[in-house]
Homo-oligomer: A and B are copies of this chain.
Amino acid sequence: MLKTFNKRHFFVGKIVIPKNKNYFYFRITIFQKPLMKKKITLKHIAKELDVSISTVSKSLKNSSEISEDTREKVQAFAKLYNFKPNNIALSLKNRKTKTIAVIIPEIVHHFFATVISGIESVANENGYNVIVCLSNESFDKEVINMEMLAGGSIDGFIMSLSKGTQSKGDFHHIQEVINQGMPVVMFDRITNDIFCDKVIIDDKTAAQDAVNYLIFKGEKKIGLITTVDYVSVGKYRTDGYIQALKQNNLIVKDELILKIEDIDNCAVEIENYIRENDIDGVFAVNELFAVTAIKAARKLGKSVPEDLSVIGFTDGIISNYSTPSITTVSQDGIIMGQKAAKLLIDRLENDEDDEFYTTEIVETHLVERESTK
Q: Which positions in A face B, CB cutoff 8 Å?
A: 88, 91-92, 95, 97, 99, 107-108, 110, 113-114, 116-117, 120, 124, 129-134, 136, 141, 144-145, 148, 153, 291, 317-318, 321-323
CB distance from A82 to the nearest CB of B (A): 23
Looking across the interface, which residue of chain B has its beta carbon closest to that of A324? B323
Query: Does A134 contact B116, Cβ atoms closer than 8 Å?
Result: yes
A88 partner, pick from B91, B99, B110, B133, beta carbons under 8 A: B91
**A and B contact pairs by CB, cutoff 8 A, 19 listed:** A88-B95, A99-B148, A107-B113, A107-B116, A107-B132, A108-B113, A113-B113, A120-B136, A124-B136, A124-B141, A129-B133, A129-B145, A131-B131, A132-B134, A153-B153, A291-B321, A318-B318, A321-B322, A323-B323
Residue of B nearest to A322 (CB): B321
The distance in angstroms between the C-alpha atoms of A87 and B81, with both chains bound, is 29
- Give the docked Cα–Cα distance between A63 and B134 (Å): 45
Which one of B129, B141, B317 contacts A317 once the chains associate, using CB atoms below 8 Å? B317
Contacts of A323 in B (CB 8 A): 322-323
Knowing that A110-B317, A129-B133 touch, tell me 11 more A-B residue pairs with CB under 8 angstroms: A88-B91, A97-B148, A99-B148, A108-B113, A129-B145, A129-B148, A132-B132, A317-B318, A321-B321, A322-B322, A323-B323
Kindly report which residue of chain B lies nearest to residue A149, judged by CB atoms.
B131
B129 pairs with A131, CB closer than 8 A:
no
Q: Which single member of B97, B120, B318 contacts A134 (CB below 8 Å)?
A: B120
Q: What chain B residues lie within 8 Å of A133 (beta carbons)?
A: 129-132
A131: chain B residues at CB < 8 Å are 131-133
Q: Chain B: which residue is nearest A152 at the CB level? A: B153
With the chains together, A245 CA to B353 CA distance in Å?
68
Q: How far is it, in angstroms, between the C-alpha of A153 and the C-alpha of B152 when the chains are bound?
A: 9
Chain B residue contacts of A145, Cβ below 8 A: 129
CB closest residue in chain B, given A319: B321
In the bound complex, how far is the Cα of B135 from the Cα of A129, in angstroms? 10
Q: Which residues on the B side are within 8 Å of A97 (C-beta)? A: 148
Which among A91, A95, A145, A317 has the greatest number of chain B C-beta atoms within 10 A? A317
How distant is the Cα of A144 from the Cα of B113 in the complex, in angstroms? Answer: 21
A327–B124 alpha-carbon span in the complex (Å): 38
What are the residues of chain B within 8 A of A110 when measuring CB–CB?
108, 317
Give Cα A321 to B129, complex, Å: 34
Which residues from chain B contact A99 at a C-beta distance below 8 Å? Answer: 148
A134 to B132, CA, bound (A): 9
Q: CB-CB < 8 A to A317: which residues of B?
A: 110, 317-318
Q: Is the CB of A144 within 8 A of B129?
A: yes
